[in-house]
Amino acid sequence: MATGSDMPLLLLAILAKVGVVLLVLLTTVAYAVWLERKVVARIQSRWGPYLVGPHGLLQPVADAVKIFFKEDIVPTEVDRIIYWLAPFLAFSLALLSISVIPFGESLTIGGATIHFQITDLNVGLLFVFAVTSLGVYGVALAGWSSNSKYPLLGGLRSSAQMISYELSLGLGVVGVVMLAGSLSLREIVEHQRGLWNVFVQPVGFLIYFTAAVAETNRVPFDLPEGESELVGGFHTEYSSFKFAMFFMAEYANIVTVSCLATLLFFGGWLGPVFGPSLLRGLLPIFWFCLKVFCFLFLYIWIRGTLPRFRYDQLMAFGWRFLLPLGLLNVLVTSLILAWRSV
Amino acid sequence: MAPLFYIFAALAILAALSVVLQRTPVYSALSLIVVLCSLAVVYLLLGAEFLAVIQVIIYAGAIMVLFVLVIMLLNARQETPTDRSRLARWLGAPLLLVFLGELLFAVWERFPSASTRAAAAPDAGPRAVGALLFRSYVLPFEVTSILILVAVLGAVVLAKKRL
Amino acid sequence: MVPLAHILALSVILFGLGAAGFVIRRNIITVFMCIELMLNAVNLAFIGFSRYLGNLDGQIFVFFVIVVAAAEAAVGLAIIIAVYRNRGSLSIDDLDSMKL
């Protein structure tokens, strides 16, 4: 527990970390959009953004400027308070779960040690699930408050989908928690120094990743917001800045899920480390970012390749296949662990 | 640490007032979510970290989602005030205050402010709670799992349009 | 640290508000939400005592209360849906056909 004298310094350090992490996250979100447009374009044999800046790298800036200047259309019959609340709720919850994600080990400069994590809760993994559970409200309230057919249908379907796949998301991770013996994200990564969890829990990884794609409402599970099915889904009646918030919230969720997948299954920041101590401190961050980038690319690759599930297929898959598979995975893992410890 | 408790206690009370006094059911539901989350913070301040997160995941994140979805499904409108009983309206609020005052007095007398509390918080992490749950309380645990199964079946049967 | 009396006072106030809402409100879903408010007040009292006495039994009980509240909410809301389909109204003034 910090003593009274270094409380302000501690607070300042935390605020600085929060600022840096948020800046990096928002830039990542902006360029994830660029990456998606480029990769999907290449998959479809075309160029993608090319004119604004070299290879379209300034496209996110142009898009941000455009969004700010767009007219904000608010339909007359909406429930005003909730109509305004929903996108802010979705966006702030999407940013909240980054606070327990560790990016690397610690770095000691001079006398001060920087831990590359805003806070290390010993129920860190459950905190991320808590934030994910609350994220359903952004979607449901947006759909309802718009007071219109398509958003309501999209919102109800989307929230039902999200709560169904939350179960499988949790079950896929139980095996990892049993192996590491802790819910703290840093300890789970430390446990993988010998062997990455993906080799020990392959089924768990597949369950987790499938459920995560469904949770973030991405292809092939994006019927509730698919353009050709439900006009725009739950964000039909939103324009300009509020729509941008939903958009950013979705990509921030994708980044969070990718970070979690690397931490839980692919060894987080573990990788070859060499050189002077400054390099030793920064190389883990590089490995972490590289792995997260691979997951982002995987997400976008899946989006460009697979067709969409129908809604009843989607729900049947979540309840009738993924959930029993998750339970089976937990059963087998616990049996093996119990047998080994006897 | 202590001022945080009072801040979130005040937030919980304000949100609870909002639950009781709002006309639109959706606003009541959202206020109840605020109550649940501020209580989760209070649990965290009291050292019950596992239960705080469980409260958010299950209570605020699943049970209240059920409430909100049912309100949306049934299209619950603003409620019209009833004037069935004038006596209830004039006698209700004072009686409520008397009831609360009695309970608070009883609590204050039994546990005066100066009473000491356990010096160290018991370790309430998932490991400790799980150990207790699966050793001493394993029978209630199994019984509640059957209860949940019955509840799921009952809810499906009751809410189906055609069996 | 926070005195136990303050924690119990908060619990009592929330319980009283829940009880008042239970009696006053006419919309059946809001009545149900006031029941949940009362359950949460009780949970807070349990956790306060668990901290005061230094053992975890109070928290185990809260765990079970949360689980039972979930089961009760599921079945209760299913009943409300069934009642709405049959009577067409969510106001408890219209649902009192068993009264004398």
Q: Is the pLDDT of residue B114 over 70?
A: no
Predicted pLDDT of residue A155: 85
Strands A106-109 and A112-115: what pairing? Answer: antiparallel
Alpha-carbon gap, residue A263 to A318, rounded angstroms: 24
Q: In chain C, whose CA is at the least distance from the CA of B112?
A: C5
- CB spacing of B63 vs C73 below 8 angstroms: yes
Q: Which domains does chain C have, with CATH numbers?
A: 4-89 (1.10.287.3510)
B1-76: CATH, from 1.10.3720.10, 1.20.120.1200, 3.40.50.300, 3.20.10.10? 1.20.120.1200
Is residue A2 in a domain?
Answer: no
* Closest by CA position to C70, among listed A341, B150, A256, B123: B150
A241: in domain: yes
Residue with tokens 């409520």: B96
Helix (H) or strand (E) run with residue A108 in it: strand A106-109
Please tell me which residue, A265 or B116, carries the higher pLDDT value: A265
A33-73: pLDDT as tens digits: 889 888 999 898 888 888 888 878 888 888 888 888 888 88
pLDDT band for C15, please (50, 70, 90 cuts). Answer: very high
pLDDT of residue A61: 85
CB neighbour list of residue A119: distance below 8 Å, 6 or more residues apart: A14, A99, A100
How far is residue A261's CA from residue A251's CA, in Å, rounded to a whole number? 15
**Residue ranges per domain, chain B?**
1-76, 123-163
Q: Please name every residue paired with A115 in a beta bridge, in sequence order, or none if there are none.
A: A106
pLDDT of B82 higher than 80: no
B138 touches chain C (CB under 8 A): no
pLDDT band at A108; cut points 50, 70, 90: confident
Q: What chain B residue is nearest to C15 in terms of C-alpha separation?
A: B100
Q: What tens digit of pLDDT does each residue of B144-157 get?
A: 999 999 999 999 88
**Pick from B136, A226, A317: nearest CA to C64:** B136
Q: Residue A131 pLDDT more than 90?
A: yes
* A297/B contact by beta carbon, under 8 A: no
Instruction: Tell me the pLDDT tens digit for each residue of B11-51.
Output: 999 999 999 999 899 999 999 999 999 999 999 998 889 99
Looking at this predicted complex, what is its ipTM? 0.92
Q: How far apart are CA A26 and CA A18, in angstroms?
A: 12
Chain A hits for B57, CB-CB cut-off 8 Å, are 126, 129-130, 133
In sign, the C-alpha dihedral spanning B139, B141, B146, B151 is: positive
Domain assignment of residue A172, yes or no:
yes
Per-residue confidence (pLDDT) for residue B40, from 0 to 100:
95
Integer Cα distance of C63 and C78 in angstroms: 23
B130 to each of A71, B56, B124, B136, C63, how far by Cα in Å? 54, 18, 9, 10, 11
Put simply, the answer to whether C66 touches B55 (Cβ < 8 Å) is: yes
Q: Which of A134, A156, A183 is facing B69, going by the closest CB pair?
A: A156
Distance of alpha carbon B35 from alpha carbon B94, whole angstroms: 24
Q: Which residues of chain B have a CB within 8 Å of the CB of C2?
A: 2, 5, 45-46
The CA angle B40-B42-B45, to the nearest 5 degrees, is 115
Q: What's the structural domain count of chain A?
A: 1
A1 part of a folded domain: no
Confidence of residue A2 (pLDDT cuts 50, 70, 90): very low
Burial of A53 (0-12, 13-18, 19+ CB in 10 A): middle
Total-model pTM: 0.91
Shortest CB distance from B56 goes to which of A82, A122, A130?
A: A130
Q: Give the confidence band of C59 by pLDDT, cuts at 50, 70, 90.
A: very high
Asked whether the beta carbons of residue C78 and residue B29 sit closer than 8 angstroms, the reply is: no
Structural domain including A184 reads 7-341
pLDDT of residue B81: 66
Interchain CB contact of C93 with B (< 8 Å) = yes
Q: Which chains touch C (3 or more CB pairs under 8 A)?
A: B
At A180-197, the pLDDT tens digits run 988 999 889 989 888 898
Q: Is residue A58 part of a domain?
A: yes
**pLDDT (tens digit per residue) in A208-265:** 999 999 998 887 888 777 655 556 677 777 777 888 888 899 999 999 999 999 999 9
Is A187 in the B-facing interface, judged by CB distances under 8 Å?
no
Q: Is the pLDDT of residue A24 over 60?
A: yes
Q: Give contacts of B80 with chain C, Cβ < 8 Å.
A: 26, 91
Task: State whether residue C18 is helix, strand or coil.
Answer: helix
Residue contact B100–C43, C-beta within 8 A: no
Residue A188 lies in a domain: yes
Across the range A272-293, mean pLDDT stands at: 86
